[in-house]
Amino acid sequence: MIPVVDTELKDIVLSNNSFGPNEIKVLSRRISDDYSQFPVLRDLTNELESQPSRSPASSVRLGVCQYLLGRYRSAIQTLESADGGALAYLYQGRSHAALENHERAIECYENAKKGGYDPAFCAVLTAEAKRLGGDAPAAMSILDNLFGPIEQTAEYLYQRAATIAVLGTNPDEVVRLYSRAVDADEKHSGALFGLALENDRRGNDEKAIELYQRASSVFPTNLGALLNLGVMYEDYNQFQRAVRCYDRILESYPGHERARLYRRDALESVNGGDRWDDDRDRLQRKMQTVMTIPIAQFELSVRSRNCLQKMGIMTLGDLTKVTELELLNSKNFGETSLHEIREMMKNKGLVIGQFSNQKDVEPETFDTAALSPEESVVLERPISDLNLSVRARKCMTRLGLTTIGELLRKSGDDLLECKNFGVTSLNEVREKLTQLGMKLRGE
């Protein structure tokens, strides 16, 4: 069904009328209210791109539309040849930030401020770039030095909450700030996503799903909200809805590997994939995502947090690779801290040290010194490069294997012990490894 073109949308994109923050807000709200207008915006942007000549002002309009569609590199190129105004610099900065070019983003925000854009808003975005670039203390310093009306805006409250979450100093304050941001703007996707994530981590599934849904309905859509929502739908056997979440991501980002992989698995479940009938398989899928969560985002005592940092334990996944004894042998780490961390892991369906046995076999698996440089590189490649079937790939997930090198430390018998992994899957793995000139342990 061809969507009816929103005339106001068309007028904003293709006319020569004024174009600024208000018009950009209207564009976003139109698509948030009616997602069928997304392909309309895409077609209108393509039409604007195809024009043989554009004024500098039209280039600003085009660059912003490209940013909204997730075409960040095109947006930067277009905006660099625009009018050199504050709006062009601001969206250059946002595009660079989306591509993780945080220092360049900060330069653009500074130019936007010099060009007349709201200095406080530019400072908030600079704080975001500092945080995403790994310097959360600097981000907090910037936010602490902002005063006045900006402190009551949804964007400021959201950035402050996200920064405190990274610092790990006050989880309760994080939730309060996210909630205030949503109160200030019920369609702020970042704040909705942050609040959803906090509820997800605390096991409040119904509230998390509601908030993920609200976050994913806002345009431009928060990719994390769609991805996490899809995973939660799968947990509740709502595979069609999960597929639609992944489709939304791939519509804007066709090369998004994680969404593509998740979509394929969820679609096979829709089509009757037998292994997905087991609840534990779906929980394993969620576990793989949960293992990447930073420990700094949980409410732990200062003593526990400091001990983990000294041991280089930064994520929940890291805690699955150390034993309780190793934790207790760390200076100042006692039973109270151990109990605290046990509960944190239990709430996310994980156990301290559940993959620690992998370290025991690592030294005797194979002699890396005897490998050629090319073979050594292969060991670091992700298992996804083997293009295994879904059944075989699920076994890799259950065993906590992520690289080809980790797979080579397993024997055929180790793999056969994995649920739903049979001789056919084992022969498939052997064939893929043979193509790389490698074998499982003991073969």
Same domain, 112 and 25: yes
Same domain, 302 and 376: no
341 assigned to some structural domain: yes
Same domain, 223 and 307: no
Same domain, 312 and 383: no
Whether 326 and 300 have beta carbons less than 8 Å apart is answered as no
| pLDDT value of position 130 | 95
Q: Average pLDDT, stretch 359-376? A: 51
Same domain, 332 and 405: no
Cα 101–Cα 316–Cα 247 angle in degrees, nearest 5: 55
| pLDDT value of position 275 | 46
The domain boundary residue, chosen from 94, 117, 140:
117
324 assigned to some structural domain: yes
Place of tokens 């060009």: 115
More reliable by pLDDT, 195 or 299 = 195
Q: How confident is the model at residue 155 (pLDDT cuts 50, 70, 90)?
A: very high
More reliable by pLDDT, 339 or 287 = 339
Same domain, 269 and 285: yes
SS3 51: coil
Q: Inform me whether the pLDDT recorded for 359 exceeds 50.
A: no
Q: Inform me whether the pLDDT recorded for 2 exceeds 60.
A: no
178 assigned to some structural domain: no
Same domain, 365 and 329: no
The domain boundary residue, chosen from 245, 273, 290:
290
Question: CA–CA separation, 319 vs 291, rounded Å?
Answer: 9
Q: Inform me whether the pLDDT recorded for 6 exceeds 60.
A: yes
Question: CA–CA separation, 392 vs 401, rounded Å?
Answer: 12
Whether 350 and 290 have beta carbons less than 8 Å apart is answered as yes
Question: Looking at residue 104, which CATH number applies to its domain?
Answer: 1.25.40.10
Question: Looking at residue 430, which CATH number applies to its domain?
Answer: 1.10.150.20
| pLDDT value of position 222 | 87
The domain boundary residue, chosen from 326, 347, 368:
347
Same domain, 371 and 426: yes
| pLDDT value of position 131 | 93
154 assigned to some structural domain: no
| pLDDT value of position 365 | 44
179 assigned to some structural domain: no
Question: CA–CA separation, 164 vs 368, rounded Å?
Answer: 42
Return the minimum-mean-pLDDT range out of 76-90, 305-319, 371-385.
371-385
83 assigned to some structural domain: yes
Cα 180–Cα 25–Cα 221 angle in degrees, nearest 5: 70
Kindly report, residue by residue over 23-44, the tens digit of the pLDDT: 999 999 999 998 889 999 999 9
| pLDDT value of position 348 | 74
Same domain, 341 and 416: no
152 assigned to some structural domain: no
Same domain, 428 and 333: no
| pLDDT value of position 95 | 96
Q: Average pLDDT, stretch 285-293? A: 67
Same domain, 403 and 386: yes
The residues that bridge with 315 in the sheet, in sequence order, are 294
Q: How many domains does the chain have?
A: 4
Q: What does the DSSP assignment read for 324-366?
A: HHHHHTSTT--HHHHHHHHHHHHHTT--TTTTTTHHHHGGGT-
Q: Domain range for residue 241? A: 186-290
Instruction: Write a three-state SS string for 87-140.
Output: HHHHHHHHHHHHCCCHHHHHHHHHHHHHCCCCHHHHHHHHHHHHHHCCCHHHHH
More reliable by pLDDT, 121 or 170 = 121
Kindly state the tokens that stand for 354. Answer: 């559940």
1 assigned to some structural domain: no
Kindly report, residue by residue over 387-441, the tens digit of the pLDDT: 777 667 767 876 778 888 888 888 887 787 776 677 777 888 888 888 888 888 8
Q: Inform me whether the pLDDT recorded for 280 exceeds 50.
A: no
Same domain, 195 and 109: no
